[in-house]
């Protein structure tokens, strides 16, 4: 990736002229917390590229650092804000909602905060979903709840109708919490807002349990997913050890990226084989999975396999393609496929095995956030408010080089972060499992 080609500038609605009310909260304490737009966070790039860039006299790419600004664009006493959660469930959604509402209400004195019900459907009058009036009283205790109090939905909706609703409600800031599809919708909403000459800020908070959003080093919900997946791996290991030729097969989230499968494996190192979308594998042949499993059972009499949901999709190439409401291709169920194929392979060889199949995916998605994710969500929500109220738009709050930063939507949407098969994460997984290549070529 050429980081030098990335435009990291953040659009604004206009000059921020209003002194921030945060200056009055704790006397001189808060003034030291204000962040200037010139306070930058370098994008990690190859040292040789940096040296060459400096020799050529070029600038080094960097993100704006997130945080409160000394002056803001919106008058909080007149501001109306809207929050929406879209797509699949993910641990931490309620934490984000709570953080946004409390920062708007107590930090800036915003009193008109509306929750849009059931994702983008909530903007469309024909669905009949009521708004939720969000106050500290009705978000104070939602940290212990999984899911989202606003509800969610999948699928596209009319961008013009969405902007009509924003205009009708006199919304100044729209906070959109969702994955890549949501962020692409946010970008289109911002385009329409600009075309109509409206002064509405659109701020995204990236949500993907798979941790696969481009230019975002970490997304909320990932820590919780790894923690719960670790428990599933332990259960599969205990089951496999309890029987002669026992096997545990765990399917984890990861449509296109194997971060959860790889990281959970390193968190609970009882796994012998890890299958992810980024690394091809064969079933049959001298180096295929079946032969490796057979060798493992001969040696140790038990085995644990972790597979990401998007792995091995080449085995479904002849299946009729289907899409979900959001236009995503429905994946072939690699977990069930492997379960049946493994059982058939060993039955054909008259080798008795006991295979336990575990799929904790939807249990994980609907859980409350763990401690690390909850803290992380608090930072994301507060920094989203700081950005929006300063008039910044067409951006999302990301985490990069241990800092929270402003990432332009154009730099992230429509792209995907994946496990590098030659990188440290995957090489460490190979060391921990000892599986080697599962390709015959």
Q: Residue 262: CB partners within 8 Å, gap ≥ 6?
A: 274, 276, 419, 425, 426, 429
Residues in a beta bridge with 63 = 41
Q: Of 305, 224, 277, nearest to 426 (Cα)?
A: 277
How many Cα atoms sit within 13 Å of 143 on the Cβ side?
17
Q: How far is CA 295 from CA 265, 287, 300, in A?
A: 20, 11, 9
Q: Look-up: residue for tokens 């109090």?
A: 149
Core vs surface per residue 94-125: b (16+ CB within 10 A) or e: bbbbbbbbbbbbebbebebbbbbbbbbbbbbe
278 in Cβ contact with 429 (< 8 Å) = no
What is the Cα–Cα distance from 110 to 132, expressed in whole angstroms?
A: 15
C-alpha angle with apex 397: 104 to 194, nearest 5 degrees? 80
Annotated catalytic residue: which of 26, 37, 180, 210?
Answer: 210
Tokens matching residue 433: 């499992």
Q: Which residue has the tokens 């009729």?
A: 320
Secondary structure (3-state) at 150: coil
Question: What length does the chain have?
Answer: 441
Asked about 210 being catalytic, the answer comes back as: yes
Residue 114's DSSP bridge partners are 82, 133
Give the separation between CA 333 and CA 299, rounded to whole angstroms. 29
DSSP structure string for 59-70: PPPEEEEPS--S
Q: Is the dihedral of CA 285, 286, 288, 292 positive or negative?
A: positive
DSSP 105: I
Pairing status of strand 395-400 against strand 201-206? parallel
Residue 42 φ then ψ, to 5°: -65, 140
- Would you tell me how many other CB atoms lie within 10 Å of the CB of residue 155? 14
The residues carrying an active-site annotation are 210
């Amino acid at each position: 990736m050429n980081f030098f080609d990335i435009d990291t500038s953040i659009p604004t609605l206009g000059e921020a002229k209003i002194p921030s009310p945060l200056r009055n909260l704790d006397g001189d304490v808060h003034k030291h917390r204000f962040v200037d737009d010139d306070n930058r966070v370098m994008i990690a790039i190859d040292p040789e590229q940096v040296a060459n860039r400096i020799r050529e006299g070029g600038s080094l790419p960097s993100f704006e650092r997130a945080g409160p600004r000394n002056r803001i664009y919106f008058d909080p006493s007149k501001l109306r804000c809207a929050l929406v959660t879209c797509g699949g469930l993910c641990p931490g959604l309620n934490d984000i909602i709570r953080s946004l509402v409390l920062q708007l209400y107590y930090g800036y004195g915003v009193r008109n905060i509306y929750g849009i019900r059931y994702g983008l459907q909530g903007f469309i009058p024909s669905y009949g979903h009521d708004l939720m009036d969000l106050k500290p009283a009705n978000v104070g205790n939602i940290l212990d709840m999984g899911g989202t109090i606003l509800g969610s939905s999948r699928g596209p909706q009319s961008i013009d109708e969405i902007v009509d609703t924003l205009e009708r409600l006199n919304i100044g800031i729209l906070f959109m919490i969702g994955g890549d599809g949501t962020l692409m919708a946010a970008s289109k909403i911002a385009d329409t807002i600009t075309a109509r000459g409206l002064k509405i800020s659109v701020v995204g908070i990236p949500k993907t349990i798979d941790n696969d959003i481009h230019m975002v080093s970490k997304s909320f919900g990932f820590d919780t997913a790894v923690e719960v997946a670790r428990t599933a791996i332990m259960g599969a290991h205990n089951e496999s050890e309890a029987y002669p030729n026992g096997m545990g097969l765990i399917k984890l989230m990861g449509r296109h990226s194997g971060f959860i499968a790889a990281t959970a494996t390193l968190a609970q190192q009882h796994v012998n084989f890890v299958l992810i979308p980024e690394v091809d594998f064969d079933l049959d042949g001298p180096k295929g999975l079946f032969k490796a499993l057979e060798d493992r059972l001969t040696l140790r009499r038990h085995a644990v396999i972790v597979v990401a949901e998007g792995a091995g999709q080449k085995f479904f190439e002849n299946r009729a393609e289907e899409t979900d409401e959001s236009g995503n291709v429905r994946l072939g169920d690699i977990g069930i496929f492997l379960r049946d194929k493994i059982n058939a392979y060993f039955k054909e060889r008259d080798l008795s095995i006991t295979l336990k199949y575990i799929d904790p995916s939807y249990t994980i998605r609907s859980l409350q956030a763990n401690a690390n994710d909850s803290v992380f969500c608090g930072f994301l929500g507060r920094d989203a408010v700081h950005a929006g109220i300063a008039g910044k738009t067409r951006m999302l709050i990301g985490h990069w080089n241990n800092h929270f930063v402003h990432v332009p939507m154009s730099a992230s949407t429509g792209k995907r972060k994946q496990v590098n098969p030659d990188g440290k994460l995957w090489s460490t997984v190979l060391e921990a499992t000892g599986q080697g290549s599962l390709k015959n070529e």
